[in-house]
Each structure stands twice: as structure tokens, then as C-alpha cells.
């Protein structure tokens, strides 16, 4: 077995372990959750089986990132039945079968695309393969949900927009740091209710742990993952648009760099951007520098500044000592308080299925989905290189 295969096996084993269990991440041993080798995956929330009859039938193509398990779980929670899947890699397929034994492993992508009973395809393929797959899915008359980044170049984006307009299919990108994070969902409710007045700015921070030994080769190749802003920061662009209500925006400045990993010359470990929209301004910073001393993969944060207060979210950890994640702090003209978000529902999967059945845009407007990606791609393309003196 070569190093690439060994790394991939470790990555998938850890991803499946993280995503396994009906109770989600909280059911895992504390030692495992704190282990540096556990990669960033979307937690499984609630039962992995829909209540009552399935509302749609769906399939998965491309299992190259552990996020696929969170994507599948979101659709299942919304009422979807996982029917089949395809992966070129035997080890990835075996891990997926272990988690979803009722799903059929098919011999080719074509089998899924030609199955008229399948309404949705989800994918966490290697990032630069996601848009071409999505185009094939839409042309086959099916809706599509990609892991982020759902598109890695502006040329891909132009073609995806063209085919989506022609086919009228849904091309959804799962920006999980908003759509699957309870505190962020709650923040959306508070902002909509006017809790902090008019939103002026968002500050989104997306630090990640490297876990280099568990990563596949494509992870270190900018041509495959699109660059750090394209990849990680797509979450923050999505949140900026959502919370400011911006429908237009421009990149004021951006920068990227490989500041501390010369052994991976095609990699980027730092990036940030400033942007200005017709509803507010934003600052974004992403990196691969989460230290091993933190008991989770990254201290993801979001600050929403309003004219009458602000909200801060510590998505995955509160380093001051509160247990768990989804910490929301609200400061207004009357008080400072912490809001419990543990009972907040994450409706993305259900709303996406509603949209598939009703041809609506309740989960995420298509224009919003594409604009968040466009901004990330432009910031990536325009970014100046960060270089330090040695």
C-alpha cells in the first residue's frame, strides 16, 4: 500500500468514526473528539432515518471528503431515502457501505444518472470535479447538492450558471457553517427579528487544524481544491450575504499565502479578504493553524455588528470553559446574555426537499448560492501573495 492510499484510509476511518452513531458527535468518547487526527466533519444530528414514508429518493456520487456523511444525514433528516451510491475508490465505498448498508453500490455514475427514480444527487468528490459532475447531474434532469467548494474556477461557475438556467434544476452548495450550525440558525432568527438593529458588518473567522498525515494528495494541490479562500472561506462569504442581506458585493482586498508549509509548495495555509456589499461590509480570515491543544478542529467564530447591538458566535468551542459548541452571545442596549441554541432545528435538508418537490427556493436562493461562490472565486483570483522575510 502506498502513502496516498494509507493516508486516505486513515482519513476515511476517522471521518466515518466522527460521523457515526445516531446521537452524533456528542456520543463519541471525549478523548476521540479531542484527538488531533480527527478531521473536520459535519456532526450527525438526530436519527439517521426519516419518520414515515420517504419524500424523495437520492444518491451519492463522490465520497472523497468526510463531509459526505453530513450531507447525506441532512437529506435523510429532511425525509430523503438514500438509494444508491458510486465511488471509484474501494476503500471509500467500503466505509460508506458500513455506515449505510441499505444503499446499493452501483458500478458506474451512469447507473445513477439514468435512474429516473432518483431526484437528487449529493457529492463530496474532489473539489475540482464537483462542478463538472453537477453539470452532468442537471443535464440528466436531477437536482444536485455539492459539498463546499462547489465550484473551483470562474470558468466552471459560468458553465454551471448556464446549465442551471437551461435545465431549471437546483444546484445547491452545502455551506454547513451556517446551514447546519444551530447557533448560526438562531442568529438568523434574531437578526430577522431586529434584535441588533440594522446589520453593518460581519466578521467571519475560519481556522482549521491541518491533520496533514490524514490528508489525501489532492488536499495539498491548489489546482484540485481551488485555493484557501475558494475552499474554506466560501462559508464566510455565504454568511456575509445572508446576514447583511446583500444581493451585490465587491472584493475590496484579499491576500493568500503559504506561510509555514514549504514541504507542500502547491498549498495555501492563510487567507483573508475585505468586501463591501449593498447591505453591509465584511471581513474574512481563514487558516490552517489550529494548535493541537484545542479540543476541536477549529475555533470558528462569527461576529455580526448591528446599529443597536452585536452577536458573537463561537461555533464549535468556547475556550473560556463552557462545554460543547453553538455558543451565542447577544449584546444590545439593555443587557448582555448567552442564548442556549441546543434545541434549535437545522432545517436545510427539509427545505431542500421542499424545493425539489415544489420547485421553490426556500433552502437557499439560487442567486445567493452562486454569488457566495463568485465572491470567493474572485477574492481568490485577485489575492496578493503574503510573503515574509526569512
Q: Would you state the pLDDT for residue 33?
A: 32
Q: What is the pLDDT along the chain (390 residues), one digit of tens a residue?
A: 454 455 455 444 444 433 333 223 323 333 223 333 333 444 444 445 555 689 999 999 999 999 999 999 999 999 999 999 999 999 999 999 999 999 999 999 999 999 999 999 999 999 999 999 999 999 999 999 999 999 999 999 999 999 999 999 999 999 999 999 999 999 999 999 999 999 999 999 999 999 999 999 999 999 999 999 999 999 999 999 999 999 999 999 999 999 999 999 999 999 999 999 999 999 999 999 999 999 999 999 999 999 999 999 999 998 888 888 899 999 999 999 999 998 999 999 999 999 999 999 999 999 999 999 999 999 999 999 998 875
Q: Would you state the pLDDT for residue 390?
A: 59
Per CATH, which fold does 178-347+377-385 belong to? Dihydrodipicolinate Reductase; domain 2 (3.30.360)
Q: Would you state the pLDDT for residue 108?
A: 97
Which part of the chain has CATH 3.30.360.10?
178-347+377-385
Q: How many CB atoms lie within 10 A of CB 177?
A: 23
Cα separation, 4 vs 214, in Å, equals 9
The model scores a pTM over 0.75 = yes
Cα separation, 96 vs 113, in Å, equals 19
Q: Would you state the pLDDT for residue 25?
A: 33
15, 27, 356 from 32: Cα distances, Å: 12, 10, 37
Cα separation, 385 vs 388, in Å, equals 10
Q: How many CB atoms lie within 10 A of CB 319?
A: 11
Which part of the chain has CATH 3.40.50.720?
3-175
Whether CATH 3.20.190.10 fits 3-175: no
Amino acid at each position: 500500500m502506498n502513502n496516498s492510499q494509507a493516508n486516505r484510509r486513515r482519513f476515511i476511518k476517522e471521518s466515518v468514526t466522527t460521523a457515526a452513531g445516531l446521537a452524533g458527535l456528542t456520543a463519541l468518547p471525549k478523548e476521540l473528539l479531542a484527538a488531533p487526527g480527527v478531521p473536520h466533519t459535519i456532526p450527525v444530528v438526530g436519527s439517521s432515518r426519516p419518520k414515515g414514508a420517504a419524500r424523495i429518493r437520492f444518491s451519492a456520487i463522490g465520497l472523497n471528503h468526510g463531509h459526505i456523511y453530513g450531507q447525506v444525514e441532512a437529506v435523510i433528516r429532511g425525509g430523503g431515502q438514500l438509494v444508491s451510491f458510486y465511488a471509484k475508490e474501494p476503500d471509500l465505498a467500503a466505509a460508506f457501505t458500513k455506515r449505510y448498508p441499505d444503499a446499493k453500490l452501483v458500478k458506474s455514475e451512469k447507473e445513477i444518472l439514468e435512474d429516473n427514480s432518483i431526484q437528487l444527487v449529493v457529492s463530496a468528490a474532489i473539489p475540482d470535479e464537483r462542478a463538472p459532475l453537477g453539470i452532468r447531474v442537471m443535464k440528466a434532469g436531477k437536482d444536485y447538492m455539492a459539498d463546499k467548494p462547489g465550484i473551483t474556477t470562474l470558468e466552471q461557475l459560468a458553465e454551471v450558471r448556464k446549465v442551471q438556467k437551461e435545465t431549471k434544476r437546483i444546484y445547491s452548495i452545502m455551506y454547513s457553517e451556517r446551514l447546519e450550525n444551530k447557533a448560526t440558525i438562531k442568529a438568523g432568527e434574531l437578526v430577522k427579528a431586529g434584535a441588533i438593529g440594522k446589520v453593518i458588518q460581519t466578521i467571519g473567522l475560519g481556522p482549521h487544524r491541518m491533520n496533514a498525515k490524514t490528508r489525501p494528495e489532492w488536499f495539498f494541490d491548489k489546482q484540485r481544491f481551488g485555493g484557501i479562500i475558494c475552499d474554506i472561506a466560501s462559508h464566510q462569504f455565504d454568511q456575509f450575504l445572508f446576514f447583511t442581506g446583500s444581493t451585490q458585493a465587491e472584493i475590496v482586498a484579499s491576500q493568500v499565502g503559504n506561510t509555514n508549509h514549504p514541504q507542500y509548495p502547491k498549498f495555501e495555509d492563510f487567507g483573508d479578504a475585505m468586501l463591501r456589499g449593498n447591505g453591509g461590509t465584511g471581513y474574512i480570515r481563514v487558516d490552517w493553524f489550529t494548535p493541537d491543544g484545542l479540543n476541536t478542529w477549529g475555533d470558528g467564530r462569527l461576529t455580526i455588528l448591528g446599529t443597536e447591538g452585536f452577536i458573537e458566535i463561537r461555533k464549535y468551542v468556547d475556550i473560556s470553559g463552557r462545554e460543547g459548541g453553538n455558543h451565542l452571545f447577544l449584546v444590545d442596549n439593555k443587557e448582555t446574555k448567552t442564548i442556549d441554541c441546543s434545541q434549535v432545528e437545522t432545517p436545510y435538508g427539509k427545505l431542500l426537499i421542499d424545493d425539489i418537490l415544489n420547485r421553490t427556493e426556500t433552502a437557499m436562493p439560487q442567486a445567493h448560492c452562486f454569488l457566495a461562490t463568485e465572491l470567493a472565486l474572485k477574492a481568490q483570483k485577485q489575492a496578493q501573495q503574503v510573503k515574509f522575510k526569512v
